């Protein structure tokens, strides 16, 4: 529940805890990119290993509002609860709660609360909390802002699950300053090792006809505001609690000032205005990205929950990426992976190009660190870290970390999709080309020409983490090939169209005219292992010769395999955590004909466990394309319900944001059958027979359009922007000036 | 110097420190198999990873004898030293020292000391220490027994060298009891985590015509015995310091009693008797294992230093193995590796079968732990840990640890050599067969039949640690093949010759009649990757397709590669740390003809860095066999001088015992050209042109014989035991009854 009801704005995230401090599973408030560092230690050290761990900090919790009535503290595990409900309003961006409780003293108390994390103001959250009793009672309310001991992490490590965050013993924060006035408290901190600055504050307004006594206490790591009063029957007592956080690269009084300003502003606007602003922003967001699923209200609700988390997680990021769990937990350390480019960016490119651009700019900001990382592994160019917050590699297990060189290609892939779909070629001049060329250089340096003239890339790990340190991973080589070719294409375009910026860039990065030629040569000679008889790709050189894992004979309780078998056992078998070759046939679909895709899917899908939450949407999209509609729907449901039904038994670790992004991809690429090869939009629907329709909106090169699909045809409606040419069910369509076109689908 | 002058008896080891406490590099006293445990933690945990670290404890140091003359403490870094020498007497097993020192007060002091670690009594060491001054002086002597803080380790980790030991912060020991009487002190401890028991004691006798004052102080972690006196000119003052240690599985007053008894006994015998016993034992040891090198006194001295360390390290092991550094340092944690079977055991088999048997019995004692380890990596049978003290896997980096399944075959190889050369087939009944069959089962279960009917073993690491996690490592598969075949041979022999023990064993381990059949089938179908055109083996499937490392272009200061390149970089290249295929052609030499061996050597040797100290002797032996005498001599010298000339810049980390064992192998297998395939002894000398001769002794199936080689022929002399048939320079020779045979070598 704490994960499902989590609220965030991409900068600030608050788990869906109760207002009262107990019970809770993992209380947590997070600021994107606000992290503590710690030394990565290895029993057996190796050259070039990542040196510094980074973990997103669980910042002081400002959500707590404890209440006692006639001396009985509210705790739903022991209280006599008469009615209880919580609602996440996806349209309003509001978590509401209503609780009716009969106290030991015989009073009936009604508690109503609303919580929001502002989508208008990244530094702000607020809670509106009201209690009413039906007879006279003594009420004591304790509203807190409290630094935690990261207890969640201590617990997490007991599971020995590598996906959990590393323990930071005790608090990561050192108190710098505290200040209080009336019912307000602001605490200032610095992180002990990374040296970042944080200010956290809360303020309160009370609306009540009752007299009350308010007191404020503060300690270096906490603040407590008490409201005590004698309640009269049926007279509500309402507290609006305003919460603000600000962080910076170093402690600075400006952070506390920022928090004070935010609190003052929020207090002036009042809670109701924050709600109104929230609704307006969300209305616009939903208009841009909603996907409707005809005749399937339960699926529709689940889809919207996923889209809501996509909206939240990408809303107000500020010089940061989008972490694997957004800002809903500490799992995976709050790190950014390739997920952002492959699973999140497509949604943004088609629904909110400005947010997509922010993600790309963030990647660009890590380029210098990526250059250093390439040197550390003895390569030229740039190598993005497999997992990071601050740009330095934070993966302590290199076979499934640094070895995933394919992250470089993911960056290229996202960049290319952005440029082609949005038409923002300026971005190439403003940094895109630099990222593209530096990352392309890595491939040219990493690979080599073998005896038969092929260009090989050895000793890498592809997307599938059940196979590691292999030669000529097909996915990696195919993506590297496209990377090299696109780098050449952009180089030529830049040289021809923008000679001055090109000259400047070439000078700065020391690009020689021979390099693009070498890239073309390497791309043309790229080794792509395959089995010509079976007509399929080999996941890597030798993969098809390996022993097949007997999935049918594997007990259900030994999944996910990574938690029940030594990596040595997993790695030596043909068994996949997630699609690898099949992902390549999806991302590079125009390099394969349908029969090839089907053969690869039919070989690899049965040996794919789907133990990764990045798996199901890819399996579904390709199942839909190659003609396995039932499989496609099954995988879609798995992805859709990843968190809602706790498919992986770790929904408590926060939202699986790649799976969430995968839901949008699954609907749009899978069932609507959209493709965007070279920026050309084609729609070839694969609507599930069980559904009556599917509609979505998209923004392509400045045009905003709706696409509505049913079993008889596709209607494309123009709303805004220039004319757009696209292909629908193999027919060319041009829309513009508010026009609508319907293409019938032959049956 | 502390390594070169280290003394040990295989149970107790003392580094060659000065008597006075400063200066020293890494003071250290070690007891074989006496270890502390600590949790192995991983930033990213994996299923089946080793859980518990084991590190040999640096036990309380009893060597310290500090001296002050007229208030000036002896420290050779500041004292006015007139003469100084230290001598390691390899015949006497004695480290002697003579130092002449002019004090600030104008006295000339002569210090003479002798130190021994008893080869007669494993629990005992002793120091005889004499000081004489040429004029009246005030002399204060402080003899200590002092627990250290393992400061050496704190220092070691700063290097980030994975081969060093893990830090144990502070002392690993908890004081249990102390007792003193006169000049004696005994301290009792338990290790804090592993719970082992230790008693350490010292006692002193003084021989002097001078009056002196003696005091004894004790703290939980140290004891200090002071001797103060006014020295008369030229009157020597001699202290005999007796030192004893005893350890056990738990603290026990019997340990202190044992120490007290040993001290009392030593005191009764006096230092001179310990010296006499030492010489007698060494005389016998040298008679059994000396190797002489004609006309090369410097090489002879170096050879004997190496042999001396082999004698010491294997002398009085007691239910333990022989660690990578013997008991001369904490590096590699005091762990036992495959080194003992492949590098140490051949020496023992030919020179001291009883010691060889002890090593085999020790391995057998770990069989239950090896069965558990096999289960942890999802296999049947038994898998010996890559590195261990107590039988549990202690390797925290599985790609170059647990993945080295070939350790199972090393155990088989050592066992087979022992049985065939010593003729002790009883050992098979007394546990050898059980080890052999259980370890063979692992191969049968680990491998699988591929599409073309070959039996493959995927995802393992061979002996060469610059290549990891590969399919069909040729070395591993060839050794596994011999392992399976030998297991079948022993099974059949046991069933036919010893049906009752066979029945009992079969029942106990659940051996079915089908299993040996399956082993034969797997052995016959074993995949051995090769390049038929080049006529060489491939180190593993795909190895020969990999990019060649440009060794010529690699700066000297970037060796060893493992300390200067990320493993990802190393693993993807054709570059070797140590022989892999070439080692197979050595150990399984009868599976290859000379031309095959030469082709393999000529391909692999140039890409072998020799960054491992296990490398040079193998390179030399095979260079000698395939006809590269200059290379053979070069590699021999490298191996010979590994520690003496600090070839790897880490001689301070203790004796490279595998290289030391390799010196004997290099002389006997390499230059004397001995082979023992199936237990048949052949001698085909490859005497270096620069040497006039080479002689060694050997014990084969109860026969003790000398072999003397010069450029004209080979003389084999029988001393003891039954007749022995062997082949010398392709001629059959039979010796017996003290006879001597000379076979001329054609030139």
The Cα-based distances of A696 to A287, A351, A634, A673, B9 in angstroms read 10, 10, 21, 12, 80
pTM of the predicted structure, to 2 decimals: 0.94
State pLDDT tens for residues B623-678.
999 999 999 999 999 999 999 999 999 999 999 999 999 999 999 999 999 999 99
State pLDDT tens for residues A176-197.
999 999 999 999 999 999 999 9
Is the minimum CB–CB distance between A395 and chain B shorter than 8 Å? yes
Contact A566 B468 (CB under 8 A): no
The Cα-based distances of B647 to A318, B559, B613, B642 in angstroms read 54, 12, 9, 5
Residue B164: per-residue pLDDT: 64
Is the minimum CB–CB distance between A248 and chain B shorter than 8 Å? no
Query: Whole-number mean pLDDT of chain A?
Result: 96
Is the minimum CB–CB distance between A569 and chain B shorter than 8 Å? yes
Give A295's pLDDT tier (boundaries 50, 70, 90). Answer: confident
Give A157's pLDDT tier (boundaries 50, 70, 90). Answer: very low
State pLDDT tens for residues B30-83.
999 999 999 998 988 899 999 999 999 999 999 999 999 999 999 999 999 999
Question: What is the C-alpha separation between A327 and A338, in angstroms, rounded?
Answer: 17
State pLDDT tens for residues B244-253.
999 999 999 9
Average pLDDT over residues A67-91: 97
Question: What is the C-alpha separation between A501 and A489, in angstroms, rounded?
Answer: 16
Can you tell me the ipTM of this complex? 0.93
Contacts of A159 (CB under 8 A, 6+ apart): none
Residue B148: per-residue pLDDT: 78
Instruction: Find out whether B522 and B447 touch, Cβ atoms under 8 Å.
Output: yes
Contact B47 A450 (CB under 8 A): no
Provide the 10 A C-beta neighbour count for residue A740: 13
State pLDDT tens for residues A373-420.
999 999 999 999 999 999 999 999 999 999 999 999 999 999 999 999
State pLDDT tens for residues A418-434.
999 999 999 999 999 99
State pLDDT tens for residues A706-734.
999 999 999 999 999 999 999 999 999 99
State pLDDT tens for residues A104-156.
999 999 999 999 999 999 999 999 999 999 999 999 999 999 997 644 333 33
Contact A46 B162 (CB under 8 A): yes
Residues B427-443 as b or e (16 or more Cβ within 10 Å = b): bbbebbbbbbbbbbbbb
Express as a percent the part of chain B with pLDDT over 70: 97
Contact B564 A162 (CB under 8 A): no
Question: What is the C-alpha separation between B306 and B205, in angstroms, rounded?
Answer: 34
Please check the confidence at residue B152 and state whether its pLDDT lies above 60.
no
Question: What is the C-alpha separation between B559 and A626, in angstroms, rounded?
Answer: 52
Contact B542 A547 (CB under 8 A): no
State pLDDT tens for residues A533-565.
999 999 999 999 999 999 999 999 999 999 999
CA distance A500 to chain B (A): 37
Of B42, B53, B566, the CB nearest to A376: B566
Is the minimum CB–CB distance between B26 and chain A shorter than 8 Å? no
Parallel, antiparallel or unpaired: strands A197-208 and A237-248: antiparallel
CA distance A606 to chain B (A): 19
Please check the confidence at residue A163 and state whether its pLDDT lies above 70.
no
State pLDDT tens for residues A229-239.
999 999 999 99
Q: How many CA atoms lie within 13 A of A697 on its CB side?
A: 19
Question: What is the C-alpha separation between B399 and B132, in angstroms, rounded?
Answer: 58
Residue A166: per-residue pLDDT: 55
Please check the confidence at residue B553 and state whether its pLDDT lies above 90.
yes
State pLDDT tens for residues A651-685.
999 999 999 999 999 999 999 999 999 999 999 99
Residue B162: per-residue pLDDT: 64
Residues of B within 8 A of A571 (CB-CB) are 459, 469
Query: Whole-number mean pLDDT of chain B?
Result: 96
The Cα-based distances of A409 to A316, A416, A610 in angstroms read 26, 10, 23
> Tokens 């502002």 map to which residue?
A118
Best of B46, B373, B394, B549 to substitute, by most chain A Cβ atoms within 10 angstroms, is B46
Express as a percent the part of chain A with pLDDT over 70: 97
**Nearest to B35, CA basis, from B162, B192, B175, B145:** B192
Contacts of B69 (CB under 8 A, 6+ apart): B101, B103, B105, B107, B109, B133, B137, B138, B139, B231
Residue B151: per-residue pLDDT: 42
Please check the confidence at residue B157 and state whether its pLDDT lies above 60.
no
Average pLDDT over residues B519-537: 97
Choosing from A465, A504, A514, A690, the catalytic residue is: A465
Quick one: closest CA in A to B167, which residue? A43
Average pLDDT over residues B548-577: 97
Of B162, B166, B541, the CB nearest to A542: B541
Is the minimum CB–CB distance between A566 and chain B shorter than 8 Å? yes
Residues of B within 8 A of A460 (CB-CB) are 568, 572
Residues of A within 8 A of B166 (CB-CB) are 43
The phi and psi torsions of A163 (rounded to 5 degrees) equal: -80, -15
Across A278-287, A342-351, B19-28, least confident range: B19-28
Question: What is the C-alpha separation between A422 and A679, in angstroms, rounded?
Answer: 8
Residue B694: per-residue pLDDT: 98
Please check the confidence at residue B349 and state whether its pLDDT lies above 60.
yes
CA distance B711 to chain A (A): 45
Of A47, A166, A545, the CB nearest to B566: A47
Residues of B within 8 A of A455 (CB-CB) are none
- Report the 3 state secondary structure along A264-328: HHHHHHHHHHHHHHHHHHHHHHHHHHCEEECCCHHHHHHHHHHHHHHHHHHCCCCCCCCCCCCCC
State pLDDT tens for residues A477-534.
999 999 999 999 999 999 999 999 999 999 999 999 999 999 999 999 999 999 999 9
- Token representation of residue A433: 């080309």
Give the SS3 label for residue B454: coil
* Cα torsion angle, A546, A548, A554, A556, sign: positive
């Amino acid at each position: 529940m704490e994960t499902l009801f989590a609220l965030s704005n991409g900068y600030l995230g608050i788990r869906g805890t109760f207002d009262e401090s107990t019970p809770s599973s993992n209380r947590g408030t997070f600021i994107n990119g606000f992290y503590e560092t710690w030394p990565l230690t290895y029993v057996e050290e190796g050259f070039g290993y990542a040196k510094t761990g980074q973990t997103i900090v669980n910042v002081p919790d400002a959500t707590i509002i404890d209440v006692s009535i006639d001396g009985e503290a509210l705790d739903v595990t022991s209280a006599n609860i008469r009615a209880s409900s919580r609602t996440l309003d996806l349209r309003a961006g509001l978590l509401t709660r209503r609780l009716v409780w009969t106290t030991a003293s015989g009073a009936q108390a009604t508690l109503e609360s609303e919580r929001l994390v502002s989508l208008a103001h990244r530094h702000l959250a607020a809670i509106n909390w009201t209690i009413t009793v039906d007879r006279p009672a003594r009420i004591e309310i304790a509203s807190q802002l409290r630094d935690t001991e990261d207890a969640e992490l201590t617990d997490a490590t007991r599971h020995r699950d590598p996906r959990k965050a590393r323990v930071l013993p005790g608090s990561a924060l050192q108190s710098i300053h505290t200040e209080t006035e009336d019912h307000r408290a602001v605490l200032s901190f610095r992180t002990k090792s990374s040296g970042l600055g944080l200010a956290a504050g809360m303020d309160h307004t009370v609306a009540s006809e009752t007299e009350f006594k308010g007191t404020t206490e503060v300690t270096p790591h906490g603040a407590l505001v008490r409201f005590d009063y004698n309640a009269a029957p049926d007279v509500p007592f309402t507290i609006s609690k305003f919460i603000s956080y600000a962080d910076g690269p170093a402690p600075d009084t400006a952070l506390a000032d920022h928090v004070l300003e935010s609190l003052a502003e929020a207090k002036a606007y009042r809670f109701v205005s924050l709600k109104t602003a929230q609704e307006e922003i969300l209305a616009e967001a939903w208009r841009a990205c909603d996907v409707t699923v005809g005749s399937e209200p339960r699926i529709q609700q689940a889809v919207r929950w996923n889209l809501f988390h996509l909206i939240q997680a990408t809303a107000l990021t500020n010089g940061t990426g989008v972490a694997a769990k957004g800002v809903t937990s500490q799992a995976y350390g709050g790190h950014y992976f390739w997920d952002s480019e492959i699973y999140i960016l497509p949604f943004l490119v088609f629904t909110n190009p400005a947010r997509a651009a922010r993600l790309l700019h963030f990647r660009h900001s890590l380029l210098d660190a990526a250059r250093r990382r390439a040197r550390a592994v003895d390569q030229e160019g740039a190598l993005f870290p497999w997992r990071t917050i601050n740009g330095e590699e934070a993966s302590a297990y290199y076979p499934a970390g640094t070895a995933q060189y394919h992250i470089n290609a993911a960056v290229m892939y996202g960049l290319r999709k952005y440029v082609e779909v949005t038409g923002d070629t300026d971005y190439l001049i403003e940094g895109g080309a630099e990222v593209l060329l530096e990352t392309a250089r890595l491939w040219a340096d990493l690979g080599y020409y073998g005896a038969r003239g092929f260009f090989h890339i050895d000793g890498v790990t592809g997307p599938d983490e059940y196979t590691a340190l292999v030669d000529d991973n097909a996915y990696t080589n195919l993506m590297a090939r496209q990377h090299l070719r696109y780098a050449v294409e952009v180089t030529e375009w830049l040289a021809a169209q923008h000679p001055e910026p090109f000259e400047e860039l070439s000078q700065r990065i020391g690009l020689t005219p021979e390099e693009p030629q070498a890239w073309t040569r390497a791309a043309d000679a790229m080794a792509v292992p395959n089995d010509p008889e079976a007509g399929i790709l080999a996941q890597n050189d030798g993969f098809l010769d390996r022993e097949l894992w007997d999935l049918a004979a594997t007990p259900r309780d030994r999944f996910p395999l990574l938690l029940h078998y030594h990596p040595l056992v997993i790695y030596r078998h043909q068994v996949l955590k997630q699609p690898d070759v099949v992902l390549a046939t999806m991302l590079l679909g125009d390099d394969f004909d349908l029969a090839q895709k089907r053969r690869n899917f039919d070989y690899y899908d049965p040996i794919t466990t789907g133990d990764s939450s990045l798996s199901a949407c890819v399996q579904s999209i390709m199942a839909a394309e190659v003609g396995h509609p039932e499989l496609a729907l099954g995988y879609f449901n798995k992805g859709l319900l990843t968190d809602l039904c706790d498919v992986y038994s770790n929904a408590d670790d926060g939202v699986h944001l790649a799976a969430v992004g995968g839901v949008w991809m699954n609907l749009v690429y899978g069932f609507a059958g959209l493709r965007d090869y070279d920026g050309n939009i084609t729609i070839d629907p694969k609507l599930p027979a069980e559904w009556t329709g599917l509609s979505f909106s998209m923004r392509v090169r400045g045009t905003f359009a709706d696409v509505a699909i049913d079993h008889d045809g596709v209607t494309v409606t123009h709303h805004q922007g220039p004319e757009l040419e696209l292909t629908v069910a193999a027919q060319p369509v041009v829309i513009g000036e508010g026009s609508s076109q319907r293409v019938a689908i032959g049956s």
